[in-house]
Every structure is written in C-alpha cells, then in structure tokens.
Amino acid sequence: MNILYYPQVKPKKKLIKRIYIAIMLWIVGRAIQAASKVDSDVKDEFAKLNNNFCLKMWIWPNGPAMYVGKTNNGRVKYLGWKDKGYKPTLTMTIKNIEAAMLLFTFRESTAIATARNRLVVDGDLPDACAFVRILNIVEVYLLPKIIAKLAVKRYPKWSQMAPSRKHFGRIVIYVRAFTF
Amino acid sequence: MIPYNFTFLSHPKICSGLKALEVIPFELESLNACKPLIITSEKWSRKKLTKTIVKALYDSNIVIGALFDNAPAHPSSTIINVLSKLYRERSCDSIVAVGAGSVVNIAKSVNMVVSLKTDIVECANMTLSAPLKPFICVPTADCEGGEMAAMATCERFTKKSDYLYPDVIVIDPRITRNATSEEIANCALTSLSHAIEACGIDTPNPINDAYAHTALQFIYQYLPKTIKKPCNNDGSVAIVNAAACADIAFSNAPEGIIHSLASIIAQDTNYKPGTIMGILLRTSLHAKLATKQGIRPELLLALAGIDTYAKTKENERQKVAYDYLIKCIATTSKYIPSTLKKLTISHDKLKEYAKEAAAKNRDYKEKEYAELLANAWESK
C-alpha cells in the first residue's frame, strides 16, 4: 500500500462567512455604543459594570473580533476589531465560524447558543449576563420584530418597551451607529 | 447514605447535534493536538462523508496529517502497521475515526501502537498505564457495539482498558443520516442488548443505570420512525446517542451472556453482531421474565415514562416492561429474523459456540449458554 496516495490536507478558509461576521460585529459594536447613549436600560446595565470593563467577542481561532469597553469617564465605546493591547475583563469566544453564523443569522438566540455550548466565557459571570441582556436590547432595536423574536430569549412587551420608544430609539441608534 | 458500593467511569465528552462536526478543531486544540490522522472506510468516502469532515475543519489551524479512506472491513495487523507508519511519517499527533466497527477498532489499535511505540502483537499483552494520543470518534449509524466503549478488537484479541475510551464523541446528523434501515436496526439491537445487560446485573450501579436507561429510552422512542426513514436527522442522532450511552454502560458492567455469545457467532459467521444479539435478546428476555431476574421494574420507568409506571401495579411492571421491549424488537422484524435457524446457522455448531463462550466468559456455565442457544435456534 502506497502511503503517499493519502495526502496531507490543509483546510481552506471560509472567507465570505468571515466577512459577513466581521460586518455584523462592527454593526453590533457601533450599535451598542449608540444604544448606551439612547436607551435607559442599556445605560443602567453599563452603569453597573466596572469602569475598566472591556469586552472581547471573537470567533476562535483567527477572528474576526469586536472590542467594546468603558472609558475612564464611564462612556461606552466600540474599540474596533483589532487588538491594540486592550486587556479584556470579559472574553466571549464563539467556538467556530459556523456557530457564529447560526448566532448572527439569528437562527439561534444567544441563550440557546450558550445552552448548546457554542460560547466560552472567560470573566465574571454577572458581567457576561449583563452583556447578553444588553445584546438582546440592541437586537430588538436593530432588527424587525419577526427576526428579533428569533434572536432574543423574550421579545419585550408593550409595557416593557413602548412602540414609540422602540421606533424612535431605532432611528437614533441607526443614525448614530452609521455616522459618528 | 449511598445505597450501593459502585465504581463508574465515563471518559468521553459527547458533542451531539447541529454543526457538531465543527467543534472538532476546538476539541483537538484543547487536547493539545493540531495534526490529526483521519481514518474512514471507502463506503463512507463514496457517500462524501470525508468531504463533509474536511469542510468542517475549514477556517481552523488544523492540518490533516493524512486522510486515509480505505479502512478494510476487518482490522488486521498489516493495516495497523501501515497506518502507524503513516502516522509517524506525517508527524501526526491525534486520530479521528469516521465510521463504526472496524474503522474505530483500527483507529484504537493504531493509537495503542503509536502511543506505546511498539507493534500490535506486543500491544495485546501489554497493560495500558497512561493515556493514549488524543482520539476523536465520529460514529456513523451502523455501530456494531463497543466503538465508544473502553475496548478495542483486533483480529483475534479484544483489549479492555479505561484508556481506550475515545476522548471526544462527535455525533452529527450529516454523518449519522447516511445509514440504511438494516444498519439502524443492527445498531439499535446491539445498543439495546448492551443496555439491558448493563442494567440487569445483580449489583446495581445507579449511574450506570442512568446511562443504560437513557439508551433504552432513545431506542424505544426513535427506533420505529428511524427504521422507516433512516435519513431522519433526529432519529439517527438519537440512535447513535443511544449507542454511545449503551457502550459506556457496557464498559462499566460485567460482560453479559448475549454479548459473549453474539461476538463468537458473529466472528464465525460474519453476520453483524446486532442481528445475533436481536435474536438472543428476545429469548433471553423471555427466560428472564420466567425467572423474574434481570428485568427490573425500573426498566418500565425508562421505557414508558412516569405515568405508565405509576399506573401499572407493582407486580406487573416487569411483565409490562418485557412487553415494551418485545414491541421494540419487533419493529426490526423486517430485517432481523426471529430465530438462529432462519439465519441458517447449523444446529451442530451450537455446542461449539457454547463451549467457546464458556471459556471466554466464565460468569456463566456452558449449560446456560447452550440452553440460550438452543432456545434461540428454534424460538421457544
């Protein structure tokens, strides 16, 4: 038996999926920054976090990644996708690009993805829970109801988020996320 | 107070469900490996499972040392030596087996050879005292029993050791849904036999019972619809999960009468062990019911659920559990004959099988083996 017949294989890259995830992380990161100024719930959640809070959300093993952190004056900032020597206090690692696709194409909610062991969290658990709640609120603002229902654990009722607040917030968040 | 003295070991991590294959790179890295040798058979390669596996490893730092897709139906020392050479020449550091039966046995044997740095003949006589190289098992739904257990079979020897468990078991519907109805029936009957034998022993082990009962529950719930439609994602995944649970339970229990006989007959006749086990199980259950030993009332709880268990009178639970099991076995009747006679096994050989089994597993007497075989040959 000629063993040379069985070659060494170097798996390829999933470039299109990586680009899609990178764009989604950029949009979500910018939207979190915008929502922290617009929505009172997001503001409250961030207020409870330490001032050195820095989140790294990335796809194992080669990215893409998203860094969100709090500045010294307590403002929330999207820090970009490149590691510029940040010291994340909370790292959320998605185990592979396919798991990230399930999450960011809203076929699986964050809660379900966590339950199915697709995420590895390194950091304080209360911080991670707070961030998941923030992510849920941001998704409610960014996505139409029919899609957001799939992405969040419980879609907020009228009493929790009035349509006027939701639509106004959505416009402001979109404008802020894509402009400055 | 814990009511029993028992020991239990389940080493493998089970990753099951949608996109489960994609966790292989992450799991390999957590086992400090990055260059696996992938072993599969031509049958699965023709069904493009190798392509699926390679695609699942995209976008990772893993390099496949070699993709061997020509594993024979019976593990021989020649193929094990060739694969060990391939493993060493390509500087691989782990093994991934995609398939069942011989593929997994070959992979385990290669792992022993490369970890102990010896040859397979010497491996048979050595005691494993340290963990082997990382080994990931990706089972298909044609399991023959023992793939995910702490044992390996090669040519004429069977080796048992806690280190022979796979490190990770990956059960993905893209892999499991490719089996035929007959293969599903064989896999289910093997798991059923192992689970029943594991939880029917005199000294109960509560953790082992939990595994065995889970296997029984999966099989009872999913076997009928999976036999009708083997490409059903949920069904095929459930059957393979049952096989994994049954194999772990089997590893933590003494070898049963059915397994001992079936492995000898299967080796001699080349029939699948599941076929033989299905026939023997029916007869064995009947005998167990008559003596009221080996079928515990809790089996009914696992099979039928709390409502039926609570509704059934205490002294009838074993009989009802037996009925459920027979009903479950009957769903495979299209593929599995009811007697050894219909399988064209010669009556003259039964004595020989009983003698061989008694020499191999001394927990039972030759008379008991012979009695079971005689009853199974012509259904009584």
Looking at residue B1, what is its pLDDT? 47
pTM: 0.89
CA distances from B104 to A18, A152, B111, B138, B172 (A): 34, 41, 10, 9, 16
Q: Tell me: pLDDT of B380 over 70.
A: no
Helix axes B181-199, B257-269, angle to 10 degrees: 150
Residue of A nearest to B55 (CA): A11
Residue B57: list chain A partners with CB under 8 A.
Answer: 11
Most confident option among A155-159, B12-16, B351-355: B12-16
Q: Which of B54, B61, B82 sits opposite A9 (nearest CB)?
A: B54
Query: What is the per-residue pLDDT across A15-42, written as a single tens digit (0 to 9) for each?
Result: 999 999 999 999 999 899 888 888 888 8
Please tell me which residue of chain B has the smallest CA distance to A2: B82
Number of neighbouring beta carbons within 10 Å of residue A2: 6
Nearest-CA residue of chain A relative to B53?
Answer: A11
CA distance A122 to chain B (A): 15
CA distances from B276 to A133, B190, B226, B341 (A): 55, 9, 20, 11
Q: Residue B129: pLDDT band by 50, 70, 90 thresholds? A: confident
| pLDDT band with cut points at 50, 70 and 90 for residue A93 | very high
Cβ within 8 Å, pair B17-A116 = yes
Structural contact between residues A81 and A67, judged by C-beta atoms closer than 8 angstroms: yes
**Which tokens in the block code for residue A73?**
């004056």
SS3 call for B98: strand
pLDDT tens for B60-110 read 888 998 888 888 888 888 888 888 988 988 889 999 999 888 899 999 999
Report the complex ipTM: 0.85
A7 at the B interface (CB within 8 A)?
A: yes
Does residue A100 sit at the B interface (CB-CB below 8 Å)? Answer: no
Contact A8 B90 (CB under 8 A): yes
Q: What is the mean pLDDT of chain A?
A: 86
Sign of torsion, CA B2 B6 B10 B16? negative
Q: What is the pLDDT of residue A1?
A: 67
Question: What is residue B4's predicted lDDT score, i.e. its pLDDT?
Answer: 67
In sequence order, which residues have a C-beta less than 8 Å from that of residue B258 and are 6 or more positions away?
Answer: B193, B197, B277, B280, B281, B284
Query: Is residue B369 predicted with pLDDT exceeding 70?
Result: yes
Show residues of chain A in contact with B82, CB under 8 Å.
1, 3
**CA-to-CA distance for B21 and A49, rounded, in angstroms?**
36
**Short-list A102, A25, A37, CA closest to A71:** A37
Could you please report the per-residue DSSP string of B12-32? PEEEESTTGGGGHHHHHHHTT
Which residue, among A9, A17, A112, would best test binding to B if mutated, counting the most B CBs under 10 Å from its CB?
A9
pLDDT of residue A107 exceeding 50, the answer is yes
Q: Which chain A residues are within 8 Å of B69, Cβ to Cβ?
A: 6
CA B121 to CA B77: how far, in whole Å?
A: 8
Least confident of A68-72, A162-166, B217-221: A162-166
Residues in B whose CB is inside 8 Å of some CB of A read: 15, 17-19, 22-23, 25-26, 29, 54-70, 82, 85-86, 89-90
Work out whether strand A90-94 and strand A54-59 pair parallel, antiparallel, or are unpaired: parallel
What is the per-residue pLDDT across B287-299, written as a single tens digit (0 to 9) for each? 888 877 777 888 8
User: Can you give the pLDDT at residue A81?
Assistant: 86
Task: Give the per-residue SS3 of chain A.
Answer: CCHHHCCCECCCCCHHHHHHHHHHHHHHHHHHHHHHHHCHHHHHHHHHCCCCCEEEEEECCCCCEEEEEECCCCCEEEEECCCCCCCCCEEEEECCHHHHHHHHCCCCCHHHHHHCCCEEEEECHHHHHHHHHHHHHHHHHHCCHHHHHHHCCCCCCCCCCCHHHHHHHHHHHHHHHHHC
pLDDT, mean of residues B101-122 = 87
Q: How many CB pairs under 8 A join A and B?
A: 73
What is the predicted pLDDT for the residue at A180?
Answer: 62
Q: Is the pLDDT of residue B285 over 70?
A: yes
From the list A11, A14, A95, the residue facing B23 with the nearest CB is: A95
Closest-CA distance of chain B to residue A127, Å: 24
Please report residues of B whose CB lies closer than 8 A to that of A99.
19, 22
Cis peptide before B273 (omega within 30 of 0): no
The answer to whether residues B312 and B300 touch, using CB atoms and an 8 Å cutoff, is yes
Cβ contact B200:B295 at 8 Å: yes
Contact between A3 and B82 using a beta-carbon 8 Å cutoff: yes
Distance between CA atoms of residues B379 and B285, nearest Å: 12
- The predicted model gives A134-149 an average pLDDT of 87
- Residue A62 near chain B (CB below 8 Å): yes
Task: Spell out which residues of chain A touch residue B90, defining contact as CB-CB under 8 Å.
Answer: 8
B339 or B13, higher pLDDT: B13
Element (H, E) at B152: strand B151-154
The SS3 assignment for B157 reads strand
Residues B176 and B308: their CA atoms lie apart, in Å, by 31
Q: Is A82 on the interface with B (CB under 8 A)?
A: no
Rounded mean pLDDT, A64-88:
86
Which A positions 115-174 lie with beta carbon below 8 A of chain B? 116-117
Nearest to B86 among A3, A11, A102 (CB): A3
Whole-number CA gyration radius for chain B: 20
Interface test with A, best of B58, B62, B70 (most A CBs within 10 A): B58
Alpha carbon distance B265, A106 (integer Å): 52
Q: What is the pLDDT of residues B199-213, one digit of tens each?
A: 877 777 888 889 999
Cis peptide before B337 (omega within 30 of 0): no
In chain B, which ranges are continuous DSSP H helix? 24-30, 42-46, 49-56, 77-89, 102-116, 120-125, 173-176, 181-199, 206-228, 233-251, 257-269, 273-291, 298-304, 306-311, 317-330, 349-360, 366-377
Coil, helix or strand for B192?
helix
Per CB-CB distance under 8 Å, the chain A contacts of B15 are 117
Tell me the shortest Cα–Cα distance from B23 to chain A, in angstroms.
Answer: 7
Cross-strand pairs, B159:
B152
Tell me the sheet residues that pair with A109: none
Q: For residue B56, list chain A residues with Cβ-Cβ distance below 8 A.
A: 98
pLDDT at A5 over 90: no
A96 neighbors B22 (Cβ within 8 angstroms): yes
